[in-house]
Amino acid sequence: DTGVSQNPRHKITKRGQNVTFRCDPISEHNRLYWYRQTLGQGPEFLTYFQNEAQLEKSRLLSDRFSAERPKGSFSTLEIQRTEQGDSAMYLCASSLGGIGSPLHFGNGTRLTVT
Amino acid sequence: GESVGLHLPTLSVQEGDNSIINCAYSNSASDYFIWYKQESGKGPQFIIDIRSNMDKRQGQRVTVLLNKTVKHLSLQIAATQPGDSAVYFCAENSPYSGGGADGLTFGKGTHLIIQP
């Protein structure tokens, strides 16, 4: 399977703990995106990378959130001091870039903060 | 603010019938539109896209129609099958959507239910 891969699929954590998610994009895609999706809603943009450079962050991305893409390949999203409001599906997507290049999504990591 | 939305939260159709899912957008600067299908527990799956210089595009059993005059987008699915049951999202890209260079803004989705 050469699609976007995300790990873990599910994560249950206690409030206040730190969590880290990983995304492996489609290999030839140089753009990588993180989105968050809550129940009944469409995905909301968090941040994106062009190769290893993080070029844009949404105001949804609080200081407790940090994303990296150190070698321009896989990416990690870390949430520090998790809160119950962080419970959501975290989706990663990748694209070749440019208008007309659709985003291809992984199956997400579902985070539950208890 | 400007956003993408859908007219109906749930659409129920008989297996074998055609279905039409509608989407209204308000950002006249949007130049690229995508339809995604999302099944339970999975990420959005690309179905079909259309650039703003087109008004119709066809795929396998799916057709997307774009009416820029009234800022309306629709997805037509022919001869629906049980596997078509999912939530369908339209998404738009505009230079100022704030969603990254290819920034996509999503609507809330329409849940398509296929009845036997």
Give the pLDDT mean for B39-59.
95
CB atoms under 10 Å from CB of B72, counted, come to: 14
Q: What percent of chain A has pLDDT over 70?
A: 99
Alpha-carbon distance A77 to A81, whole Å? 13
Q: Report the gap between the CA of A81 and the closest CA in chain B (Å).
A: 25
Q: What is the pLDDT of residues A90-101, one digit of tens each?
A: 999 999 887 778
Report whether A89 contacts B42 (CB < 8 A).
no
End-to-end, the C-alpha distance of chain A in Å comes to: 33
Q: Which amino acid is at B14?
A: Q
Res. B5: pLDDT tops 60 = no
Give the pLDDT mean for B7-15.
85
Q: Does the distance separating the beta carbons of B31 and A99 come in below 8 Å? A: yes
Alpha-carbon distance B85 to A31, whole Å? 30
Q: Does the distance separating the beta carbons of A98 and B102 come in below 8 Å? A: yes
Q: In chain A, which residues have their Cβ closer than 8 Å to the Cβ of B86?
A: none
Report whether A23 contacts A33 (CB < 8 A).
no
Q: What is the pLDDT of residues A46-72, one digit of tens each?
A: 999 999 999 888 888 889 999 999 988
β-bridge partners, B51? B32
Taking phi first (over 0 means left), then psi (-120 to 50 degrees means alpha), and beta for anything else, what does residue B80 get?
beta
Q: Report the gap between the CA of A35 and the closest CA in chain B (Å).
A: 9
